Each structure stands twice: as structure tokens, then as C-alpha cells.
């Protein structure tokens, strides 16, 4: 099926060279789950921005894989990636290939709601340097997906006040292209840990904004065992990244390793307080699943400790496979 089947423009490999530059470049990394990636592409194409948006499809599918549905749209540029490419290296390749002044990252297991792109662009016209969207569960009622999504993205659930923010949703935020490119060789590792990237941009004077009018739906894992595995691998990379970025010495690293058992309690208490202040009905959901949340964050904290002690090892490659292939049923 092509986008033209839905009434869109005829598909072709590249837009004409005399077209105006797009206003937003959307980076989507895909692996072997082609239909899941197709759902993401369709939601982007349904934004209706035509050539104001280019979609950069960083494709690490196995040789001979079927095309990702809707990837033959004239608004999609497919960039084949080597088998050894990592999630962060592919995101960096997307930044390098972008034609637009704004780069938005969207996971292939995310669907953007109507008006998402226009809302982001409106925030950039207001002068912001990085903009995040509100997050809602994409597969509510599937196993433990509600609790997993809350644990991962609950800080950005609507209703949100909007305006200046200290942190934006991981893996699904947008940035001015020039700010990312100015980071040079430091960009690739920072694109693994968005929180550290955003911290660095704030230190450089960038202004981060949450845009409640932009909304994404996130397909989540359906068991705590799944999210625990992914969090362990993510923190195995993030721990040493944060230590290098902030210039931690041996003592600071050792303190975080020793604190491993209490980090889950710190997260649970802080997040519960956030939900209580917000008067969110999700506080009950969090507390009902507190044992699973604690176990998951313990695995994450253990990954961080291993990263601080021994480096990331092969965690970046393993996390990439997890990110692109972990089941997230609708």
C-alpha cells in the first residue's frame, strides 16, 4: 500500500530539486518490525504538511526485508543503515541528513496525533529552541502497558501547563537543527541520553518548551520484565555518559554505585509526589503497581552501576535491538 492509495500525492523516491526546503525534518529509526514502522509513517503523513515536512527513515531492516508501509511516499527519504548501527548513531545520521531548521525525533512505536507538527512549529516561531509534546498511552489496557507508560512518560501526561521546561520526553523531542549540529562529535552519544543532551543545551542558553497542543501516543511494553530489561540496557549506557558529561570523579561514581538500592525508592517517592501535586488519578495506578515499579527501577539502577564501574560494554547494540524489536502490541 502507498500513501497515494489514501488520496495523497503520487509516490516517488525523492522530491524535485527545486522544491522549497521543508520546515521540519522528522527522524524515524526502524528495524524488522515493518508494519509497526508503517503505522508511525502513516500518522506523520496524515499531518498534511506536504513538502513542509520531510520524513527521514533510518532503515536498519535485514537485507531483503519488505518495504516499510508508506515509505514510498514522496515525503519520505529512506536512508539504509548498516547492521551494526546503534540507535544513537542512526539518530545522529538523521540530523546530518536533515534539510529543515527543526529536527523532530519520533520512535517507530509512536503515533502522532493530528496537529502535532503544526503545534511544534508554532512553538519554534515563538522563539523556543527545543520543544516536547504531551504523551498519552498508545495501547491502554494491554497487560501492564498502562503502568509501564506511566512510569516511562507520566511526567508528560496531559493536562500540562506548557511553557518553559527543564526536560522533554526522551526519544521523542524536537530541536533546532543548528543546535544539534553545533555539538559535533559529542552529538551521537548524547542522542542516547536525551536528558543529558537537554541539560547541556540549557547550560548553553537554549530554551526548552513543552507544547501541550502537540500530542503523541506511545506504544508501551506490556510486562515489567520487558521494561526492566530495556531500562537496564539504557542506564548501562546513560550512567557513563552522564559521568563523562559532568566530569564526575571516582568518588561521585562510587556514591552512585553504593546508592543503587535506594534509587528506586527515590524515583517512586518523587513521582508519587508529582502526581499528588497534579491531583492525577494515575497516582492510584502507580501505587497499585509499586512493587513492579521498584523492581524495574532496581534493574535500571543496577545497569547504571555496571556502566559506572565497567563502561557500557555492548549495551548500546543490545538496547538498539530492544528498542526496535521488543513487542508492543496494540
| pLDDT beyond 90 at 83 | yes
How would residue 20 be classed by pLDDT, with cut points 50, 70 and 90?
Answer: confident
For the segment 56-65, the average pLDDT, to the nearest whole number, is 96
DSSP code string of 162-198: -EE-S---TTS-EEEHHHHHTTGGGHHHHTT-HHHHH
How would residue 12 be classed by pLDDT, with cut points 50, 70 and 90?
Answer: very low
Bridge partners of residue 134, in order along the sequence: 215
Q: Are 228 and 295 in contact (CB under 8 A)?
A: yes
| pLDDT beyond 70 at 89 | yes
CA distance 13 to 15: 7
As a whole-number percent, the residues of the chain with pLDDT over 90 amount to: 93
Q: Say how many CA atoms lie within 13 Å of 179 toward its Cβ.
A: 24
DSSP code string of 120-154: HHHHHHTT-SEEEEEEEESSTTSTTHHHHHHHHHG
Going from the N-terminus, what domains does the chain have, and what CATH number goes with each?
A: 3-218 (3.90.550.10), 224-325 (no CATH)
Closest CA to 75 of 100, 111, 110: 100
pLDDT in tens, 268-278: 999 999 999 99
CA distance 248 to 233: 21
Bridge partners of residue 30, in order along the sequence: 59
Q: Which of 3-7, 27-31, 37-41, 86-90 has the lowest mean pLDDT?
A: 3-7
For the segment 62-83, the average pLDDT, to the nearest whole number, is 97
According to the model, what pLDDT value does residue 10 have? 29
According to the model, what pLDDT value does residue 330 have? 83
How would residue 193 be classed by pLDDT, with cut points 50, 70 and 90?
Answer: confident
Bridge partners of residue 102, in order along the sequence: 176
For the segment 127-142, the average pLDDT, to the nearest whole number, is 97
Which of helix, strand or coil describes residue 105? strand
How would residue 65 be classed by pLDDT, with cut points 50, 70 and 90?
Answer: very high
Cβ burial of 269 (10 Å; 0-12, 13-18, 19+) is exposed
Bridge partners of residue 218, in order along the sequence: 110, 137
Cβ burial of 161 (10 Å; 0-12, 13-18, 19+) is exposed
Phi, psi of 177 (to 5 degrees): -60, -40
Q: Are 10 and 4 in contact (CB under 8 A)?
A: yes
pLDDT in tens, 232-276: 999 999 999 999 999 999 999 999 999 999 999 999 999 999 999
CA distance 9 to 115: 19
What pTM, to 2 d.p., does this model score? 0.93
pLDDT in tens, 99-130: 999 999 999 999 999 999 999 999 999 999 99
CA distance 154 to 286: 10
Reported as type and span, the H/E element at residue 205 is none
For the segment 60-76, the average pLDDT, to the nearest whole number, is 96
* DSSP alpha helix (H) spans, the chain: 34-45, 87-97, 116-125, 145-153, 177-181, 187-190, 194-203, 224-246, 250-258, 263-278, 282-288, 290-310, 315-325
| DSSP 8-state secondary structure symbol assigned to residue 20 | P
Phi, psi of 142 (to 5 degrees): -95, 100
For the segment 48-74, the average pLDDT, to the nearest whole number, is 96
According to the model, what pLDDT value does residue 18 have? 57
Q: How much is the mean pLDDT over the chain?
A: 94
Amino acid at each position: 500500500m502507498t500513501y497515494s492509495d489514501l488520496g495523497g500525492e503520487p509516490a516517488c523516491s525523492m522530491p524535485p530539486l527545486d522544491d522549497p526546503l521543508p520546515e521540519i525534518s522528522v527522524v524515524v529509526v526502524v528495524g524488522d518490525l515493518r508494519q509497526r514502522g508503517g503505522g508511525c509513517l502513516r500518522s506523520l503523513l496524515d499531518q498534511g504538511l506536504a513538502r513542509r515536512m520531510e520524513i527521514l527513515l533510518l532503515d536498519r531492516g535485514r537485507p531483503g526485508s519488505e518495504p516499510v508501509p508508506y515509505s514510498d511516499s514522496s515525503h519520505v527519504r529512506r536512508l539504509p543503515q548498516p547492521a551494526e548501527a546503534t540507535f544513537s548513531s542512526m539518530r545522529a545520521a538523521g540530523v546530518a541528513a536533515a534539510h529543515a531548521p527543526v529536527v523532530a525525533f519520533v520512535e517507530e512505536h509512536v503515533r502522532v496525533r493530528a496537529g502535532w507538527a503544526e503545534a511544534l512549529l508554532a512553538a519554534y516561531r515563538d522563539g523556543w529552541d527545543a520543544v516536547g509534546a504531551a504523551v498519552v498511552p498508545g495501547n491502554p489496557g494491554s497487560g501492564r502497558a498502562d503502568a509501564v507508560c506511566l512510569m516511562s512518560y507520566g511526567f508528560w501526561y496531559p493536562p500540562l501547563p506548557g511553557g518553559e521546561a527543564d526536560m522533554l520526553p526522551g526519544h521523542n523531542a524536537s530541536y533546532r537543527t543548528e543546535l544539534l549540529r553545533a555539538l559535533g562529535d559529542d552529538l551521537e552519544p548524547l542522542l542516547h541520553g536525551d536528558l543529558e543532551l537537554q541539560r547541556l543545551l540549557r547550560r548553553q542558553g537554549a530554551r526548552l518548551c513543552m507544547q501541550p497542543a502537540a500530542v503523541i501516543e506511545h506504544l508501551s511494553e506490556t510486562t515489567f520484565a520487558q521494561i526492566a530489561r530495556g531500562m537496564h540496557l539504557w542506564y548501562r549506557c546513560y550512567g557513563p555518559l552522564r559521568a563523562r558529561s559532568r566530569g564526575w570523579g571516582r568518588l561521585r561514581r562510587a556514591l552512585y554505585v553504593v546508592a543503587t538500592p535506594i534509587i528506586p525508592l527515590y524515583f517512586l517517592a518523587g513521582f508519587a509526589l508529582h502526581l499528588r501535586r497534579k491531583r492525577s488519578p494515575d497516582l492510584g495506578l502507580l501505587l497499585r503497581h509499586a512493587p513492579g515499579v521498584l523492581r524495574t527501577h532496581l534493574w535500571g539502577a543496577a545497569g547504571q552501576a555496571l556502566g559506572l564501574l565497567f563502561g557500557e560494554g555492548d549495551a548500546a547494540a543490545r538496547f538498539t535491538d530492544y528498542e526496535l524489536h521488543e513487542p508492543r502490541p496494540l
